[in-house]
Amino acid sequence: MKICSTVSEIRGACDIACADNARADNALANHRRLGLVPTMGALHEGHLSLVRAARSQCDAVAVSIFVNPTQFGPTEDLSKYPRQFERDCALLEKENVDILFAPPVEEIYPNPNDSTTWVTVEALSEKLDGRSRPGHFRGVTTIVAKLFNIMQPQAAFFGQKDAAQLAIIRRMVRDLNFPVEIVACPIVREPDGLAMSSRNAYLNQQDRIRALVLHRSLQHVQQQFQAGEFSAAKLIDAATEVFAGEPQVALDYFEIVDPDTLDPVVRISQATLVAVAARVGSTRLIDNLLLQP
């Protein structure tokens, strides 16, 4: 695995990886495919499932590790976000990743005191997590656009757990004509149902148990839906009752929305996203599921 820390290094490495694959098999010459898995490190099985999906669909796989400061608010956990670089490298080596891009902040944002050029997906960026975390998605789309421009992958792999992020990146790619296929991969869960997240490391033993209310609320909504309830308002009420049983978990939002526009739906008649965010102790967690009529 080649580790790159500068823009010039990673551009050269991506070019070589695709060229090497093309030389290895002439049939690939017109179909060279670089898959990118963008991460902030502290890798877990969810990240590794994206790497495996990229490996199965692409000729070369690149992973980025960059704790992006522009997607954290002033009161959020940038300074304590888990950083486990050596462990992450070992995990990626085992998955046969070709290239790792791990730049310092100054390589990505060389003039932090100057005005930054932002990439913003209007309207969508103020919904769900964007409403609770102003500026968050502007930071996400800016760094993802930078990575796409720097590394020029043919495909990029994202987890369904960050459903709003997924919708926003898809819209950015469409509107800005990025030649990148966005591949969504299923949520990976712990045996008890908790969605895997790097932030789960913040949870103490009691909060870890309380955090299961997110998954329980989604399961309850799914059961009600499968029993014939299609009213979004009634399903949200049912989920709220589940949260009432965990008074020490602060519900941020529970919404039922169109998975592409993130607009609320009144009655479920097509594929619909059920999304939840809550604060468990000092840790903010998200989860979701897709309902398919």
Where residue 26 sits, what CATH number does that domain have?
3.40.50.620
Lowest mean pLDDT among 4-13, 105-114, 224-233: 105-114
In a domain, 164, yes or no: yes
Residue 255 pLDDT > 70, yes or no?
Answer: yes
Q: How confident is the model at residue 289 (pLDDT cuts 50, 70, 90)?
A: very high
Predicted confidence (pLDDT) at residue 28 exceeds the cutoff of 70: no
Domain boundary, last residue among 160, 185, 210: 185
Q: Are strands 99-101 and 249-257 parallel, antiparallel or unpaired?
A: unpaired
pLDDT at 1 over 90: yes
Q: Is pLDDT larger for residue 113 or for residue 93?
A: 93
Give 140's contacts (C-beta < 8 A, 6+ positions apart).
68, 71, 165, 168, 169
244 is written with which tokens? 């009432």
Q: Is the pLDDT confidence value at 26 over 60?
A: no
Same domain (yes/no): 181, 215? no
Give the mean pLDDT of 277-287.
97
Can you give the pLDDT at residue 139? 96
By the 8 A CB rule, do 256 and 268 touch? Answer: yes
Mean pLDDT of the 193-212 span: 96
pLDDT of residue 269: 96
* Residue 179 resides in a domain: yes
Residue 47 bears catalytic tag: yes
Residues 31 and 158 occupy one common structural domain: yes
In a domain, 85, yes or no: yes
pLDDT of residue 219: 98
Q: Are residues 220 and 247 in the same domain?
A: yes
Average pLDDT, the chain: 94
In a domain, 190, yes or no: no
**23 band by pLDDT with thresholds 50, 70 and 90:** very low
Same domain for 112 and 167?
yes
Residues 124 and 244 in one domain: no
Q: Is the pLDDT of residue 103 over 50?
A: yes
Is 210 a residue whose pLDDT tops 60?
yes
What pLDDT is recorded for position 27?
40
3-state helix, strand, coil in the chain (%, to 5): 45, 20, 35
pTM for the whole thing?
A: 0.94
Tally of structural domains, the chain: 2
Which of 18-27, 64-73, 94-103 bottoms out in mean pLDDT, i.e. has the lowest?
A: 18-27
Q: What CATH code is carried by the domain that includes residue 231?
A: 3.30.1300.10
Beta-carbon contacts of residue 272 (< 8 Å; ≥ 6 apart): 232, 256, 257, 258, 259, 265, 290, 291, 293
Same domain, 15 and 58: yes
CA 174 to chain centre: 18
Find the domain containing 119 and state its range.
2-185
Give the pLDDT band (50/70/90) at residue 93.
Answer: very high
Using DSSP, state whether 246 is helix, strand or coil.
Answer: coil
pLDDT > 90 fraction of the chain, expressed in percent and rounded: 89
DSSP state of 70: G
Out of 185, 218, 246, pick the residue that ends a domain. Answer: 185
d(CA 208, CA 286): 14
| Residues 210 and 163 occupy one common structural domain | no
Are residues 235 and 286 located together in one domain of the fold?
A: yes
Average pLDDT of the segment spanning 187-201 = 96
In the chain, the amino acid numbered 78 is: L
- 25 and 69 part of one domain: yes
Mean per-residue pLDDT, 244-248: 96
**Range of weakest confidence among 22-26, 56-60, 208-212:** 22-26
What integer is the mean pLDDT of 238-248?
A: 97
pLDDT at site 291: 97
pLDDT confidence of 114, banded at 50, 70, 90? low
**Residue 18, pLDDT score:** 81
Residue 17 predicted with pLDDT over 70: yes
Residues 137 and 222 in one domain: no
Note whether residue 192 is domain-resident.
no
Radius of gyration, CA atoms only, the chain: 20
Is residue 24 scored above 90 in pLDDT?
Answer: no
Catalytic site residue from 44, 47, 215, 220: 47
In a shared domain, residues 21 and 114 = yes
Average pLDDT value for residue range 30-56: 93
